[in-house]
A and B are shown apart, each in its own frame.
Chain A
């Protein structure tokens, strides 16, 4: 006997129907994975320890359906192993399937009653009375004929043991699943009978007519987004082209709302002769019955949406919500055709639509049409390519995987739109971030670091900082990472020394490193566009500015606008003169810099903490020294009696006094008063990104040289960063590096940053610190206190741990690079913001602030 074939979609909700003891559980175990089966017996046991307790059924089914719902939400086939002999219990299954937009299948085990009675007797632990079994069997038989009507899409009935033994379950792909088709595709928006434009567009895309059918010599496929007809002047011709291309395998097509209406008409139902269908119908009637029936069966065969190219691309006429992708239900089909409306009508009498794209967070790119605009509207990885050809706009194609847009202008306005194509007002508003993406535990995947987890409390802190202080998130395409110091030096008189920094890279097999002077200012990210128009188009900035300078926490650097504007103008002048814009083929740039003086941003800190500490120290220590001096001079103490010699105490206080003077000198170095923008100094050290490119693949030497070539040297505000290159395998070179650091820091310099030759350095696939800093001994007084070099202090300070700081530095670096790369790839705002948001969240982790 041939196997009894049961074909069900690979993703659906399966209900087993059968009397108790009919063998459902063994059947399920035989054909489904154990995780796919939700058995009512099991859940009865779960909630009350007894699998047979009927009192627990209510709770057991609550849990069962809860889990079923989660599984379906995650796109997993699910089998409900319960008797399901009552219509009411099956209705629960149907309702759940509708809610989750999946198909349902019923597999009925309708075995002869005597077999079941026998089995029941063989189960001593759960022996039902005969009459119960009899009743069950009767219910099963009665159920069978109703199943289809109740809403089960697929119904299979097994009548005999033999059949049961020889059953085969075949899981079929969903109709909308074309993940194995990789294109390349040319997705074409709403045509509406504009045949000439369609022909022009196909030709422009490289299609050629062969045997009356358009084909592409490189094997590309067209994908039509529906609404082939109505309003235009050659509807039948468009249908001809589309049908021929689909039939010959040169195109895919999904239906639009106009097509659904036409199909209704062709099936003999009455439709309102509005929105241009009258013209289409007239043309079809002229074509004759054969064409009409061909069209009808073509339209009837169309699937609401397709999931293409390994799930990376989705096409549907009116777009598709994330949770509907790859699902099949009347509701999904409805959405694909019409989108979602509120039920209200706007002042033009058009339905008010809900903006599903604003909420879209799926990974797949969704290309759709339906709503005519003057330009392609892209949001969160969705692209609406209906550019209103029939209204005199354009016919547009979206090329996949190139993500290019190709259009041809309409030859005329065939139809006057009720409402002007998307109003300018909407375009200017730009996109808004949604809190739901950020006020939660976040898992961020980056190219450099497998997964960065953000805890909820850190996210909450970042949300506060972003909301209260940060600049417009459209500008925040990058936040700099924290930087770890080198390992603690074992040398006397040093907490940090370059040898440890060199050692870090040397032991990790990095031969060439670069040392850059660490300027003592404040980290500043500069973004400059050539004009406000670029800022609007590329960054979504609507306040007519063309750039920004912001701090490491995303806060606008200057409280007032004037210095920012002036500095950006000066940068623009420099870049214009050096030919940067032309050479880099860009109209915006993002720079990583240090902005001086330190006192500009740290003013409050210096005046409330650093300077007062110096003053208090000076006052307090000098009065102590004075008193001790008087003690030594005027009053003799017999040495023998005294344990503490006044001279020793005096000497120690004099040393402390000296420390305090050094400390005051150290912080003063980095303060100066700004009278005009001439007094600022900006030292760029990374050219982070410009249009189409982030420069993380270039070496640091490249960055230094480009900065020298294009930015520094003309305007004194923009200053170079001194650097030297070191070979970690060469002792002489290392000595040179140490000497260089000593000369930098002797005068109180902050020190240097040591980086591997390449921006991104790895050892055996593990990301290395992108930089470690090595700070000068004098400078560290500002960090560790005036007297930190006193031996008894230094000894204790040397016990410090860098691991936490280093872990953070890596994650933040990975996120920073990721956000730049996402921005360069034109990814949606929320995808960029989650990276910068992540950096802030990580920064809220408690870490020794002195590191």
Chain B
């Protein structure tokens, strides 16, 4: 117990030091922090039913996860008393929570609450938690749940039958439901869905820096300072009286509100950054993200046949200038991407990576030659080459992307121009997201009554033909193996139909016992990145940077990839 307290005190001191605050007396409670958002509203505060990020974001103000990570990607303990212990064989995870976590009725949050949440709610058939697969593993062809068990009031274990070195990151995100309330609704999905305590977060006790106050749908979500917050015992944090998420319909109005001083913080689009930087009242921070933009090549039967050839994909990627996209579309707030692992990830390496689209591998003449060598070109009388399809006609490709995204449309037009320069005609199809998903990404084997999915095997095709798709993907910087869903044969989001047994094996290895050794894991990631950069199943375009603006009187901010990890220490000057 003493050890826990010493550790907690130490971590608090470290957190305060790292937040750059040297004068504790300046951190006073007061003020209302207003975050402007232009995305959609959350769906529910009953988080186990949520499928959207906004719901988890809202709930996160009142319920801490076990841990998150800081800007240096080091684990930052929240409800954990100490870091998760993993047995040497990588199968048993021992989780020790703090002993000062309380529900609203004053009772202690125990290991039993966590295990109950896992076993009776997240793993249940009646509730169908949308992300339950994260807690399942394949054992001899069967899909089974991991086994949680209570050890004592503050300790529980989770036992796997197979090794997954990155499973610990799933554990860090765990939040509990109060067993004393939830048992009332167990087994009755309608009652659970509509339970007032769960929808109004009346149970959250001291588990988050704020307590739920008000939620006006499509307008604002308000939480108020929780003076009992377990991480604020010594520091007095959090320091804002209220934290408000105000929703706006357009990014123009949200940015006008920031400029007018009506809100405290919001995201800023690249073309507005210089304007906001020139304002005396605003601090603008540019931080890296784990989101990237790519062009996916359709390897399936309804894509142009040439896209199945590596040389052709390389030639296409060689024709699109990533530096121009970075500089002209993102105005420098991005960096060229060559694999799914961002430079900020500890698993990133550029050793052996083929950097298509920049420097020597941005070469349109070479691209035309590659087409010619692959049988899709002919020589004119003057000796120059032109690209043709197998019927000796001008090659036409269909590029599909979503409407409404200004930058996506800009990139689409830029790609059309780049490919036009090498003699390929691109037909742009700008469609709503739902149409993109249903008609272009989801697929099934023709002539069968299969349910459409993102990957129904190599024979499956989408309803509408397409060749290139422009869209955004995301990676977990600490656990990038999740991206196997895009690039493996069985990958649930491998809608472009890239199948490579070597890649399948590598993604399997990165989640195996040998990958417990970080050096081995690093090598495997390097090999995956190398193969993908060489084979170009997709053209990784850029990793995006995010720009955010704060009123200058907000202090305690640590700009970085995980900027809000200790936002409860932010305060008004």
B is a partner of A: no
B residues bordering A, Cβ < 8 Å?
Answer: none
